[in-house]
């Protein structure tokens, strides 16, 4: 047990009044009741004696001294100890003059135990008990009586034991309250840390969203405008009409990018989806627009073929002049296989459209391809987006991106992978130098959000049965019929989507 030097005593340093506020009131009332009863007994039993004025004066002094006690607190300060000494000394004088005041010792037991250190409190209890025994013996008409000798120590022992037990209980309650306060403080601190973490994660998520939106819209649009304006500058003198067409195309791209920027700043979906028609029509519009922009005004987008696929774009006489990395214009085909049984989840359509935009931007900027194909397949429990091109291909590394020595910035594929991961799907890449590239993004119908993370994208694009031979990029995957490409039918043999 701790004493007053530590701020709390084991027997009397910390008053149980902290836990039992009624106990001091009861003890104070008992003291004054016993003091008044003892004075009344003396006056009745000994009227007119010479010591009576002294008894009355000492009783009044003791009462006044006792009243000052609560104002001094319960800690063993010098003033408190001086007060306790005065009260005990006055009581002892009263007991010597009138033994009937002996039972006022019981409230004084409590006061001493509450104020003094354990050993000093026990000494005081012993002294008070001895005075009570002496007074009882003097009051006995028959002289010595064992009951009068044994009863006061028993009462003192019981009072001390009860007080110590109550103090221990109060100490346990204080410790429990301290632990509860500590737990509450820890909980509040944890909640603050959690709120700060959520704010940081929200900031990072918003930054990631804006980064992907900027890459898939503004950055790609600016790249397209730069290439078109460079092409216009090269043919400005020789063919002003072609130059103006390039400028007008760049202007339309800028206008569309401005609209997209306004939409993603407000966290709205892509404009193609907002115009109606769903993901199918948005992908067809994307394929048509990419073909028109890069074939040039001399080409045209063919009419929709069977199944709603966009037909081939016409050839352009000066397509090679627009700064394309490939030998000719880029033609984009789109095919949708099947139909959704229910509306797509809200986040799936925009994400797959952005993936298609980013993939076609990579094809246009890096692949040197002349033909690309978009395939959207509804498989009941999932929707699959495939993007294939006949470009130069590459050797997939971590995240499916070539190293920096190849000259590729490496932001597009990580952004696509992050989008697919958010939907609970996977992004697979299959490519090899000189053999084109195929990207596949199967997404579960009931997409579940996943954290922004970029685990490696495998270089094997299609999920093929064990032991199956590698699939050539640009050819339909062996585990799914070639129903995504134009001219194929369920059960038809695989064919290259770029065949004439």
The percentage of the chain sitting over the pLDDT mark of 90, rounded to a whole number, equals 9
pLDDT for the residue 19: 45
pLDDT for the residue 440: 92
Mean residue pLDDT of the chain comes to: 72
pLDDT in tens, 198-257: 888 877 877 776 677 676 677 777 877 888 888 888 888 888 888 888 888 888 888 877
pLDDT in tens, 428-454: 999 888 888 999 999 887 754 544 444
Q: What global pTM score does this model have?
A: 0.45
pLDDT bucket at 464, cuts 50 / 70 / 90:
very low
Q: What mean pLDDT comes out for the span 87-102?
A: 86
Q: What mean pLDDT comes out for the span 278-300?
A: 70
For each of the domains in the chain, give its residue range(s) and CATH number, in order of start. Answer: 4-144 (no CATH), 207-444 (3.30.565.10)
pLDDT in tens, 481-497: 433 333 333 343 333 34
Question: H/E/C letters for each residue in the chain?
Answer: CCCHHHCCCCCCCCCHHHCCCHHHHHHHHHHHHHHHHHHHHHHHHCCCCCCHHHHHHHHHHHHHHHHHHHHHCCCCCHHHHHHHHHHHHHHHHHHHHCHHHHHHHHHHHHHHHHHCCHHHHHHHHHHHHHHHHHHHHHHCCCCCCHHHHHHHHHHHHHHHHHHHHHHHHHHHHHHHHHHHHHHHHHHHHHHHHHHHHHHHHHHHHHHHHHHHHHHHHHHHHHHHHHHHHHHHHHHCCCCHHHHHHHHHHHHHHHHHHHHHHHHHHCCCCCHHHHCCCHHHHHHHHHHHHHHHHHHCCCCCECCCCHHHCECCECCCCCHHHHCCCCCCCCEEEEEEECCCCCCCCCCHHHHHHHHHHHHHHHHHHHHCCCEEEEEEEECCCEEEEEEEECCCCCCCCHHHCCCHHHCCCCCHHHHHHHHHHHCCCCCEEEECCCCCEEEEEEEECCCCCCCCCCCCCCCCCCCCCCCCCCCCCCCCCCCCCCCCCCCCCCCCCCCCCCCC
pLDDT in tens, 334-370: 999 988 887 888 788 888 888 898 888 888 878 888 8
117 vs 389, residue with greater confidence: 389
Q: What mean pLDDT comes out for the span 245-270?
A: 75
């Amino acid at each position: 047990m701790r004493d007053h030097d530590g701020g709390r005593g084991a027997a009397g340093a910390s008053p149980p009044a902290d836990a039992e506020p009624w106990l001091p009131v009861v003890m104070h009332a008992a003291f004054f009741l016993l003091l008044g009863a003892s004075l009344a007994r003396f006056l009745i039993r000994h009227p007119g004696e010479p010591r009576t004025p002294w008894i009355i004066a000492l009783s009044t002094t003791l009462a006044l001294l006792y009243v000052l006690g609560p104002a001094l607190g319960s800690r063993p300060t010098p003033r408190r100890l001086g007060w306790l000494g005065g009260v005990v000394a006055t009581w002892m004088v009263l007991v010597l003059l009138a033994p009937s005041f002996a039972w006022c010792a019981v409230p004084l037991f409590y006061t001493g135990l509450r104020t003094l250190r354990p050993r000093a409190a026990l000494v005081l209890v012993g002294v008070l008990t001895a005075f009570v025994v002496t007074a009882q013996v003097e009051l006995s008409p028959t002289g010595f009586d064992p009951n009068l000798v044994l009863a006061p120590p028993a009462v003192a022992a019981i009072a001390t034991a009860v007080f110590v037990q109550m103090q221990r209980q109060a100490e346990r309650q204080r410790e429990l309250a301290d632990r509860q306060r500590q737990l509450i403080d820890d909980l509040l601190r944890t909640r603050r840390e959690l709120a700060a973490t959520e704010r940081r994660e929200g900031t990072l998520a918003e930054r990631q969203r804006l980064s992907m939106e900027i890459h898939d819209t503004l950055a790609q649009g600016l790249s397209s405008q730069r290439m078109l304006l460079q092409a216009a500058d090269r043919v400005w003198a020789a063919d002003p009409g072609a130059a103006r067409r390039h400028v007008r195309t760049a202007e339309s791209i800028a206008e569309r990018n401005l609209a997209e920027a306004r939409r993603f700043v407000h966290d709205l979906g892509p404009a193609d989806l907002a115009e109606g028609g769903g993901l199918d029509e948005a992908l067809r519009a994307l394929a048509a627009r990419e073909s028109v922009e890069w074939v040039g005004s001399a080409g045209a987008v063919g009419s929709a073929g069977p199944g709603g696929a966009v037909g081939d774009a016409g050839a352009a006489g000066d397509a090679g002049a627009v700064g394309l990395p490939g030998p000719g214009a880029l033609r984009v085909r789109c095919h949708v296989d099947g139909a959704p049984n229910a509306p797509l989840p809200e986040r799936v359509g925009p994400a797959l459209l952005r993936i298609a935009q980013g993939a076609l931007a990579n094809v246009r900027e890096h692949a040197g391809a002349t033909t690309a194909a978009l395939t959207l397949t509804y498989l009941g429990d999932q929707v699959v987006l495939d993007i294939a091109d006949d470009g130069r291909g590459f050797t997939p590394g971590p995240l499916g991106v070539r190293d920096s020595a190849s000259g590729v910035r490496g932001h597009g594929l990580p952004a696509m992978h992050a989008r697919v991961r958010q939907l609970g799907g996977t992004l697979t890449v299959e490519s090899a130098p000189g053999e084109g590239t195929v990207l596949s993004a199967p997404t579960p119908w009931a997409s579940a959000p996943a954290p922004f993370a970029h685990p490696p994208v495998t270089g094997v694009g299609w999920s093929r049965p064990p032991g199956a031979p590698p699939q050539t990029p640009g050819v339909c995957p062996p585990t799914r019929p070639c129903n995504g490409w134009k001219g194929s039918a369920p059960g038809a043999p695989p064919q290259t989507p770029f065949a004439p």
